[in-house]
Chain A
């Protein structure tokens, strides 16, 4: 009898330890500024739960889809209760995410969607408004007339969506012409090269939209080097800390930015924890976590810049 009780006690203790919530976080490895930012924010969010004994995190980064699939499989074998994932690519990652969902793992898809509705929560930035607001801003700033250059990111569906939205916005202003559309691959050096070449080709450029602050840095250097850093409207995106600082300090060329926060991963992680603990969001009459969340694109100007300035962040 005594021995049975001791064993029972041990089993109970073990299960008590096992009562921790295990949360797997799978994101792409840092291959440019924004993704590096996401990695940083994921680590930041996880750190906030340091003193929470009920949750345990496993963070993995992948350099390509097959690696991510293998990582998620490993996480599932480990017995995670929730999966927070920014799929490297939609199609290849869909099966494993669906499998996780069907196994009862609380799946939160971040930023890039999957090709199935079998998940718990989808949270992303607003790619459409991101491009649209930028287009609207530029069109209005140029008073409906001018030459615009688009330097876009790595060719992808996300990038396509933004560029389409931008063009939708300026379509209402027939005087606004896109004179060049070239990829900068979200890299400073590449954007610098492209801008340098475009400056040589076009004597008159009225606005440049990069949709990314890393590339905006490259553009600024090119403009400075060519001596054409005046009378031009510049719009980047995603609120990199140095650009935000420039806006705060009243930079003559960079006056506005639009959010596409890499910190959405932090929110996603929080949502996963809340879901496992059975919590709900403030202000909602309904229980549980909303299924699809599109974070609003906020416009950052000189007035509110300080609210968007995170000097410790890497992005």
Chain B
């Protein structure tokens, strides 16, 4: 019986950390617990969270994707520009979304090929991607902002379904689908195998290149989803500041959630809650009116403590 409680705690430690943070914030600032605020947290977290879920696949297979932040700006800008060029109707929004996904898939494929067949280390290739994508976005806007003039496109991001904001619903549904893909499909099993021991996976007749490339496509598709949602809600994409720092937040969310930086370990469940923890922290800082120059300190401390708590359990078991 005692063993069961211990394993329960270690498995769900991250949820306990989240509950702990929420409780703490709620005590210091009751407004934190207002339903509207909780909703906001989910909403605000969705954009980064969807990307974090995609990046989890990449990381479990032993890779990394630093280009997601710039990719977000690039794909968002693409969506805005295309939607402006087409007629302002619902079906053209559908076209815009489809095209954005296609471009994203192509970007993911290219990155995947560079890293597998091209043998360029993932860190370098995606770092290059980060710079190239951002440069492209800046260039075509001359450093300015891409503004959307399409009503139907802008309306998408602000939609509420059954009283919940669309981005939040998509975040949750996406997490569920990806969880199933990772844990309950052949592909998901191979992702773990490739990341845990690449050589053994090769000997076991796993097509490691296919697996790796697909994870980058998944990452880009995730970015596309977030890009469409974000750019439509904001009605614009800033070539200089949109998506900046997202890659670090997404990776942090995955790592807080238990994804190993060296591959072979991770879960969508963990990343989901890791993202929420980051979202709660960001919200806490505003709600508690933490002084400007202390914000990074507080954020950094909480992240470290959250990971430490999880490590304590790992070493015990």
A and B touch in the complex (CB under 8 A): yes
Q: Please list the residues of chain A having a beta carbon within 8 angstroms of any beta carbon in chain B.
A: 30-33, 35-37, 39-40, 152, 155, 180-183, 185-189, 192-194, 196-198, 200-202, 214, 217-218, 221, 225, 242, 313-315
The verdict on B34 contacting chain A, using a C-beta distance below 8 Å, is yes
Query: Is A192 a contact of B234 with CB atoms below 8 Å?
Result: yes
Q: Known contacts A189-B230, A217-B236: does B144 contact A152 (CB below 8 Å)?
A: no
Q: Known contacts A183-B292, A183-B295: does B242 contact A200 (CB below 8 Å)?
A: no
- How many chain B residues sit at the interface, stated as a range, is 35 or more
Cβ–Cβ < 8 Å partners of A192 in chain B: 234
Query: Could you tell me the distance in whole angstroms from the C-beta of A41 to the nearest C-beta in chain B?
Result: 10
Query: Is B37 a contact of A33 with CB atoms below 8 Å?
Result: no
Bound complex: CA A15 to CA B138 (Å): 39
Most A C-beta atoms less than 10 A away, residue of B37, B43, B240, B295:
B240
Bound complex: CA A189 to CA B44 (Å): 10
Q: Known contacts A155-B293, A196-B40, A200-B37: does B142 contact A36 (CB below 8 Å)?
A: yes
Query: Is B238 a contact of A201 with CB atoms below 8 Å?
Result: no
Cβ–Cβ < 8 Å partners of B145 in chain A: 33, 214, 314
Cβ–Cβ < 8 Å partners of A314 in chain B: 141-145
Cβ–Cβ < 8 Å partners of A31 in chain B: 240-241, 244
Query: Is B286 a contact of A180 with CB atoms below 8 Å?
Result: yes
Identify which of A185, A186, A197 contacts B286 (C-beta below 8 A).
A197
Query: Could you tell me the distance in whole angstroms from the C-beta of A249 to the nearest C-beta in chain B?
Result: 16
13 A-B contact pairs sorted by A residue (CB < 8 Å): A30-B143, A30-B240, A36-B142, A40-B143, A181-B289, A183-B295, A188-B242, A189-B230, A196-B44, A200-B40, A201-B29, A217-B236, A313-B144
Cβ–Cβ < 8 Å partners of A202 in chain B: 31
Q: Known contacts A32-B241, A33-B241, A36-B143: does B283 contact A197 (CB below 8 Å)?
A: yes
Bound complex: CA A214 to CA B242 (Å): 11
Query: Could you tell me the distance in whole angstroms from the C-beta of A137 to the nearest C-beta in chain B?
Result: 23
Cβ–Cβ < 8 Å partners of B282 in chain A: 193
Bound complex: CA A242 to CA B149 (Å): 13
Query: Could you tell me the distance in whole angstroms from the C-beta of B79 to the nearest C-beta in chain A?
Result: 15
Task: Look across to chain B and name the residue whose beta carbon is closest to the beta carbon of A186.
Answer: B241
Cβ–Cβ < 8 Å partners of B286 in chain A: 180, 182, 193-194, 197-198, 201
Bound complex: CA A185 to CA B241 (Å): 9
Identify which of A36, A181, A187, A201 contacts B287 (C-beta below 8 A).
A201
Contacting residues of chain B (267-282) with chain A, CB-CB under 8 angstroms? 282
Query: Is A40 a contact of B144 with CB atoms below 8 Å?
Result: yes
Identify which of A30, A37, A180, A187 contacts B289 (C-beta below 8 A).
A180
Query: Is B238 a contact of A33 with CB atoms below 8 Å?
Result: yes
Task: Look across to chain B and name the residue whose beta carbon is closest to the beta carbon of A313.
Answer: B144
Query: Could you tell me the distance in whole angstroms from the C-beta of A150 to the nearest C-beta in chain B?
Result: 10
Taking A155-B293, A182-B285 as known contacts, 17 extra A-B pairs with beta carbons closer than 8 A to each other, sorted by chain A number, are A31-B241, A31-B244, A33-B145, A35-B143, A37-B144, A182-B289, A187-B242, A193-B44, A196-B43, A197-B40, A197-B287, A198-B286, A200-B34, A200-B37, A201-B37, A221-B234, A242-B147
The verdict on B36 contacting chain A, using a C-beta distance below 8 Å, is yes
Cβ–Cβ < 8 Å partners of B236 in chain A: 188, 217
Chain A interface, >50% SS class: helix
The verdict on B235 contacting chain A, using a C-beta distance below 8 Å, is yes
Q: Known contacts A155-B292, A196-B44, A200-B36: does B144 contact A33 (CB below 8 Å)?
A: yes
Query: Could you tell me the distance in whole angstroms from the C-beta of B165 to the nearest C-beta in chain A?
Result: 9
Bound complex: CA A188 to CA B240 (Å): 11
Task: Look across to chain B and name the residue whose beta carbon is closest to the beta carbon of A312.
Answer: B142
Nearest first, the 7 A-B pairs at minimum CB distance are A36-B143, A314-B144, A30-B143, A200-B37, A201-B31, A187-B241, A30-B240
Bound complex: CA A188 to CA B234 (Å): 8
Query: Could you tell me the distance in whole angstroms from the C-beta of A218 to the nearest C-beta in chain B?
Result: 7
Cβ–Cβ < 8 Å partners of A40 in chain B: 142-144
The verdict on B206 contacting chain A, using a C-beta distance below 8 Å, is no
Query: Is A221 a contact of B144 with CB atoms below 8 Å?
Result: no
Cβ–Cβ < 8 Å partners of A182 in chain B: 285-286, 289, 292
Cβ–Cβ < 8 Å partners of A180 in chain B: 286, 289
Bound complex: CA A88 to CA B82 (Å): 35
Query: Could you tell me the distance in whole angstroms from the C-beta of B281 to the nearest C-beta in chain A?
Result: 12
The verdict on B158 contacting chain A, using a C-beta distance below 8 Å, is yes
Identify which of B233, B285, B289 contacts A221 (C-beta below 8 A).
B233
Q: Known contacts A225-B158, A242-B147: does B238 contact A32 (CB below 8 Å)?
A: yes
Cβ–Cβ < 8 Å partners of A217 in chain B: 234, 236
Task: Look across to chain A and name the residue whose beta carbon is closest to the beta carbon of B145.
Answer: A33
Task: Look across to chain A and name the residue whose beta carbon is closest to the beta carbon of B283.
Answer: A197
The verdict on B239 contacting chain A, using a C-beta distance below 8 Å, is yes
